Structure 1
Amino acid sequence: MTDFALSALVWADYRLAVLFTVSLPLLLLIWAFISKMDAIQRLLEIYWKVSSLLAITVFLFIAAIPLGFVTGWLARLLIPISLWFWVDLNEDIHDMLPQRPLKIAFNSWRWGVTVYSVLGSLLSLGFVRCAGFSQDVLLTEDTSCRLWLEPPWGFRDYFMAGQTPDFVGFLGAFGLLIYTAYLVYFLVIRLGRQGRSAIR
């Protein structure tokens, strides 16, 4: 694949990510809150916690930290798992009246973001190797890896122009530390206690 074609694919992927992983779930969360649909609201709250790894990835990419290639790939795996894992929430959503517009919209988005995440994980799997490069190699030698950094750099120029890449990278690394600690807590302690139940 040429660099031009890959660049177009990368930018398309980021645009789809804004739609499927930010805009639509935010609208659905607001709708669920207004409609007092607790199961959907709870599942979307879990989704936002899990998908925050995507935001961490963007911050790591702004600082050209190669670890972002691993976190981005993991986020695409964890998102669908977080949406289908919980037995109690899935049952509550299934038991809702089938013609409820929010239920239809939520399930459509859930299937859409699952397909998007699976396809994205397959696409990005070939670039996990970029995590093994030094920052210098990433910035100067491997153009196919560097192309994945361009949309985050554009995000920084537009929304965080006053911040240095090093500071943004520090925020990303700190966020990843917290995320990892919570994930370990969930896997080691909470999962053993509650299983596939999302009860608080």
Structure 2
Amino acid sequence: MQDEFLRSLVWTDYRLAVLITVIIPLILLIWAFVQKVDSMVRLLIIYWRVASLLAITVYLFIASLPIGFVSGWFGRILIPIALWFWVDVNEDIEDQPQRPLKLALTSWRWAITAYCILGALASIPFLSCAFLPGSIKTPFCQVWLQPPLLFKQYFHNDSRPGFLGFLGVTGLIAYVLYLSYFVLIRLGKQGRSAMEQ
């Protein structure tokens, strides 16, 4: 009974993630681009750069790599930071006239912030899956690998999990290198201005 409840929660989380982290921001990006609202487009491009860590996590999970639990947790932490960090973008969005796009973007920012914070808190017990030897094979950890395996069946049916895991690891290395460069070098130069993003 407890395993079924956990499985249900995990599948609900993945479904919410597809809606909140993929579908809605994609619609908002297209909408902002068509409306030519540069600050919103800039914010959503920053979002997609940061949120790519969640896509990397899916590929790590397909190969059953425990580091996926850490990358997924960090992704949930970094997304709200990226959405609210930029002073110039926040001010420009605040100065926009009240219209449906502004309301939709603001609502989504608050919704994804709440979703990510609650998800990060709820994911803390599962971080043990990344650090305890052999724990990735337990039902407690395996339940998180089921939705990515379904994703593999739909989109990468002929690919081997090891190859997809290699792509995930390569993406994670590139992500960490870029994030390190940004934090250690670019952030000091540009501060909280997204103009150079």
Q: TM-score range by the shorter chain?
A: over 0.9
Name the residue aligned to 1:112. Answer: 111
Q: Mind listing any 5+ residue stretches in structure 1 that lack a counterpart?
A: none
The whole-number CA distance in structure 2 between the counterparts of 1:172 and 1:121 is: 21
| Residue 26, structure 1, aligned to residue 22, structure 2 | no
Q: Is the 8 A contact 1:66 1:133 kept in 2?
A: no
Deviations along 1:127-151, one digit per CA (max 9) or x if unpaired, are: 01100144x5423xx1111100000
The one-letter code matched in structure 2 to 1:24 is I
SS in 2 for 1:74: helix
1:144 corresponds to 2:140: yes
Matched residue SS, 2:143: helix
- Provide the C-alpha distance between the structure 1 equivalents of 2:135 and 2:44, rounded to a whole number of angstroms: 38
Contact 2:59 2:165 in 1 (8 A): yes
Partner of 1:184: 180
Give the 4+ runs in structure 1 shifted more than 6 A: none
Per the alignment, residue 166 of structure 1 pairs with 162
TM, length-normalised to structure 1: 0.96
Aligned residues: 196
Identity %: 58
Q: Who is 1:87 aligned against?
A: 87
Residue 103 of structure 2 is aligned to residue 101 of structure 1: no
Q: Which runs of 5+ in 2 are unaligned?
A: none
TM-score, structure 2 length as denominator?
0.97
Structure 2 match to 1:124:
123
